Amino acid sequence: MSVQPLCHEPHPLLRRHARPIERFSKEIRWLAADLLETMYAHEGVGLAAPQIGCDVRLFVANPSRRRGRELVVANPVMGVTAGRTAIVEGCLSVPNVWERVRRSARVRMVGQDARGDPLVVEAEGLLAIVLQHEQDHLEGRLFLDRLPWCRRWRLQTPRAAAGQR
């Protein structure tokens, strides 16, 4: 287990659809352990494999930040969603940006654990939001993509203006 370097926007891997895991080997379990160590080292509540440069459908989550309560999800598929909520989100791959994002309040996700065994997660609250955020990473989306165009434009304007000076 080791802390891995993070990929930051505009790294191309963050915009690519991650490939499914077909063979659950010890390397996948090591990757899950690296994801957890990296997430904790950067004080995150979730981290997806593309954020550390691995093009596979795997993420970890632990909104409680208490060791031993981690969730490792491979090949996730978002099922039933219900309700709407909004929370200010950030992302380890988009440092120093925090924006209010609307998401489903309750979700049901199916997938596999790090050994390939079936996994079903039903969640609400912060865990539901983290699951959706990490699922987005595996689809090549960032939380910024869920913002209305005017808020995305506002975030890009200071960067563009700084580049013109």
Per-residue pLDDT at 5 exceeds 70: yes
**By the 8 A CB rule, do 48 and 27 touch?**
no
pLDDT for res 160: 47
- Whether cis (ω within 30° of 0) applies to the bond prior to 10 is yes
**Does residue 44 form part of some domain?**
yes
CA 50 to CA 70: how far, in whole Å? Answer: 18
**By the 8 A CB rule, do 44 and 80 touch?**
no
Q: Give the tens place of pLDDT for each residue, 27-57.
A: 999 999 999 999 999 999 999 999 999 999 9
**Does residue 135 form part of some domain?**
yes
Which of the residues 9, 122, 124, 134 is marked catalytic? 134
Sequence length of the chain is 165
Active site residue 9: no
Contacts of 143 (CB under 8 A, 6+ apart): 89, 90, 91, 94, 99, 101, 133, 136
Q: Domain of 69?
A: 12-164
Output the pTM of the full model. 0.91
Tally the C-alpha atoms within 13 A of residue 33's C-alpha that lie toward its C-beta: 9
Average pLDDT over residues 156-160: 59
DSSP secondary structure letter of residue 90:
E
CATH number for the domain spanning 138: value is: 3.90.45.10
**Does residue 1 form part of some domain?**
no
Q: Give the tens place of pLDDT for each residue, 88-121.
A: 999 999 999 999 999 999 999 999 999 999 999 9
Query: How many structural domains does the chain have?
Result: 1
**Does residue 125 form part of some domain?**
yes
